[in-house]
Amino acid sequence: MQITTDYELIDKEKWIENIQALRTDTILKDKSKIIQSLSDKIITAVKSRAPKEHFGILFSGGVDSTLIAFLCKKLQLDFTCYTVGLANSTDLENALITANRLSLPIKAKLISLEEAEKIIKKTVRILGKEYTNVVNIGVGAVVVACIEMAKEDNISTFFSGLGSEELFAGYHRHEESDDINAECWNGLVQMWERDLVRDSLISKEYKIKIETPFLDRELIRYAMQIPSELKIKDNIKKFILREAAISLGLDREFSFRPKKAAQYGSNFDKAILKLAKKNKLKYKKEYLDMLIKSR
């Protein structure tokens, strides 16, 4: 699905129209067929978006980015995984372990609090007052840090696992919902304001392209026909995606690894709180508001 044109995000109304056009009442039943078809569609989504030149993967060691990187290696594509984190970052630790075990090319950076402060300020400047909030800055700072690290490699395209959480029910709110697939549809619609604006502003700033295989039109259409009970099973979120990853050859250790959201796994969220306290402020929002006012 086309999300941007010349770094400009499509209109919110157009995004919603595109998502609504993919709705269907069909619910699939055969688990083995679902896994096979889902696996095929994920491969197609990755392959069709791969540029000919060297590209980057925003890599955290979670199932989404690991599966993308694993498939890119199988397809013999030219890529490097990029990962960042502050001290005691679970994402940084998991990413390095995963890349080592799967022989993935990776560049990783341990970020100090001082470096994090510069990145956070830069992210606030890019997103501006309207889109600066604790979640956007925590997640956006990870993307900005990876892009900054990849500058020396002249990377102009990155792959991101964005969209997987909504398709396969990866959030706590999906667990709490009485209708998991209905919540998935709602989340897809709301992605424009919650995720796409943030990433498009960053990509425009750096003149890079962020490819999102999980937001492939046919993959969305198919994933939203998968029954809710295969998306969350035995208290495991994104269950069917993890099963598909195994069928594609990814070890269970990586397919079923638990994962924190980017702002938590990288420890950028903790960095925002530490910087707030350093400035004698109690809340993260107060610190971000201070940065907005000082621009």
Length of the chain: 295
In CATH, what number does 4-294 get?
Answer: 3.40.50.620
Residue 79 in tokens: 């890529």
Rounded to two decimals, what is the model's pTM?
0.96
Share of the chain above pLDDT 90, in %: 95
Can you give the pLDDT at residue 286?
97
For 156-191, the pLDDT digits (tens) are 999 999 999 999 999 999 999 999 999 999 999 999
Q: Indicate whether 2 pLDDT > 80.
A: no
Cα–Cα distances in Å, from 59 out to 49, 64, 66, 93, 121?
17, 9, 7, 11, 22
Q: Indicate whether 285 pLDDT > 90.
A: yes
Can you give the pLDDT at residue 8?
85
153 and 57 Cβ atoms separated by less than 8 Å: no
Residue-averaged pLDDT of the chain = 96
Beta bridge pairs of residue 58: 82
For 187-239, the pLDDT digits (tens) are 999 999 999 999 999 999 999 999 999 999 999 999 999 999 999 999 999 99
Residue type for position 186 = N
Can you give the pLDDT at residue 184?
97
CA dihedral over 221, 252, 232, 230, signed as positive or negative: positive
b (16+ CB within 10 A) / e for 214-250 = bbbeebbbbbbbbebebbbeeeebbbbbbbbbeebeb
Secondary structure (DSSP) of 143-186 = HHHHHHHHGGGT--EEE--TTHHHHHT-SHHHHH-SSHHHHHHH
Q: Indicate whether 51 pLDDT > 90.
A: yes
DSSP character for 270?
H
Q: How confident is the model at residue 295 (pLDDT cuts 50, 70, 90)?
A: confident
Can you give the pLDDT at residue 25?
87
Around 263, how many Cα atoms within 13 Å sit in the side-chain half-sphere?
Answer: 16
Give the mean pLDDT of 71-94.
97
Can you give the pLDDT at residue 7?
76
Q: Indicate whether 129 pLDDT > 80.
A: yes
